[in-house]
Amino acid sequence: MTAPADALLAKARDRSAVFGIVGLGYVGLPLALELTRAGYRVLGLDVNQALVDQLAAGGSHIQDVPAEIVAQAVKQGRFSATTDLARLAEPDVISICVPTPLSKTKDPDVSFVLAATESVKRTLRRGQLIILESTTYPGTTRELMLPALESTGLKVGEDFFLAFSPERVDPGNHKWNTRNTPKIVGGITETCRRLAVALYQPAIETLVPVSSPEAAELVKILENTFRSVNIGLVNEMAIVCDKLGVDVWEVIDAAATKPFGFMKFTPGPGVGGHCIPLDPHYLAWKMRTLNYRTRFIELAGEINAEMPEYWVAQVVDRLNEQGKAARGSTVLVVGVAYKKDIEDIRESPAIDIIQLLQQRGATIVYHDPFVSHLEEDSVDLRSVPLTHAQLAAADCVIIVTDHSTVDYALVARHARRVVDTRHVLPRPST
């Protein structure tokens, strides 16, 4: 090990290492606070001035991170936030947690990773460890980041260190969090990996070293592709069961009694969030550059993306039963967040469902206890209270998100017709 590596190890041991977290969103902020809890000092860096001001004042924009925790860390001098990226010279360890969206053509948009790497490069100094956390295609750390950082004349594994460690945070999950979810680490060199493990060890209960950044990058994409493919499979099974006149939920619940060889996934309105609809496309794109077509990814993506159309057709059928057309009808959408008990609407299939119904001329109202205002693409709506009157006024209700605080018994009692994409309505016992 070189002198800079030894110095970093010592700073992990006595917690004197300073962390810089680039990107203070769903991933970066919980990680930053977990590191302060372990005894490190953390400098948060973000390009969003309003967000930095809010955090510096002890506020929080992330549901899973209570404002009191931020306020306490700020007061104790353990956490501060800035938009001044020149301060990236200060931290010993820099974790990059910036977005990795898709372009309009579903190709990876790594512009945020490139911009963050440029910022790091400008102030890169001997003894810094850089860890990319953003989900991305295999090769990003070595092919995009490494050449940029080595263009400074500093050598990886000797002067500075570079690793990939994918974030697995599951917003709204009260059991598994940044601290107790095992964390994968792959370094460009053996020393890079050892250092990343040592520096994260005080904050994360279990670290899982793998042999390379590419392996670590693929772990994350495999996990999310696994979910996308299995959700796609049960969504197709829902369509199959509908055509056969069989209750898909009965079939799934019965299959789940098998104590081995079956893992329960449930159908729904499609997939949402920043991960499952996007991440598999990163791998599909990478493989296209190697002349290989990832067929499972494409097929699951297609089926999941078609689910809003399927459920809208169900709504149209329920209206038809009443002799009504979609045009001129009122549809109440219950739940618009992409999953239960959170406020995140990114990629939510509810938005597709609303737009498809609006295109057919329906009037949409929605209720979501977590999302008071829905402003996305052409949709601009405010949540209405879930009352007897609202339910009775709707020609059809469609349940899209299964928030645990919604009174589904009330829906069952007062709605004229219901399409239940999540199987949450109370059912008669058999």
Ligand X SMILES: NC(=O)c1ccc[n+]([C@@H]2O[C@H](COP(=O)([O-])OP(=O)(O)OC[C@H]3O[C@@H](n4cnc5c(N)ncnc54)[C@H](O)[C@@H]3O)[C@@H](O)[C@H]2O)c1
Residue 420 sits in the site that holds ligand X (CB under 6 A): no
Residue 134 sits in the site that holds ligand X (CB under 6 A): yes
Amino acid occupying residue 143: E
363 forms beta bridges with 330
Q: Which is nearer to ligand X, 11 or 339 (CB)?
A: 339
Question: Residues 282, 221: contact at Cβ < 8 Å?
Answer: yes
Q: Considering only residues 1, 18, 47, 219, which one is a binding residue for ligand X as defined by CB under 6 A? A: 47
Min separation Cβ 101 and ligand X, Å: 8
Q: Is 275 a catalytic residue?
A: yes
Q: Three-class SS of residue 41?
A: strand
CA distance linking residue 133 with residue 97, whole number of Å: 5
Q: Pattern 155-184, binding to ligand X, x per CB under 6 A? A: ------------xxx-x-------------
Q: Considering only residues 5, 17, 19, 28, which one is a binding residue for ligand X as defined by CB under 6 A? A: 28
Task: Candidates 39-47, 153-161, 246-254, 260-268: pick the segment binding ligand X (CB under 6 A).
Answer: 39-47
CA dihedral defined by 217, 222, 224, 229, rounded to 10 degrees? 150
Q: Considering only residues 51, 110, 197, 204, which one is a binding residue for ligand X as defined by CB under 6 A? A: 51
Cα 81 to its chain centre, rounded Å, is: 23
Residue 97 sits in the site that holds ligand X (CB under 6 A): yes
Question: Residues 189, 163: contact at Cβ < 8 Å?
Answer: no
CA distance linking residue 145 with residue 143, whole number of Å: 6
CA distance linking residue 274 with residue 271, whole number of Å: 10
Instruction: Phi first, then psi: give them for residue 189, nearest 5 degrees.
Output: -125, 170
Q: Considering only residues 5, 45, 124, 185, which one is a binding residue for ligand X as defined by CB under 6 A? A: 45
**Side-chain half-sphere exposure of 67, counting CA atoms within 13 A:** 9
DSSP-derived letter for residue 88 is G
Min separation Cβ 355 and ligand X, Å: 23
Task: Candidates 17-25, 264-272, 332-340, 377-385: pick the segment binding ligand X (CB under 6 A).
Answer: 17-25
Task: Candidates 108-116, 151-159, 286-294, 299-307: pick the segment binding ligand X (CB under 6 A).
Answer: 108-116
Q: Pattern 266-295, binding to ligand X, x per CB under 6 A? A: --------xx--------------------
CA distance linking residue 132 with residue 166, whole number of Å: 7
Residues known to be catalytic: 275
What is the contact surface with ligand X in residues (CB under 6 A)? 22-28, 45-48, 51, 97-100, 112, 115-116, 134-135, 167-169, 171, 274-275
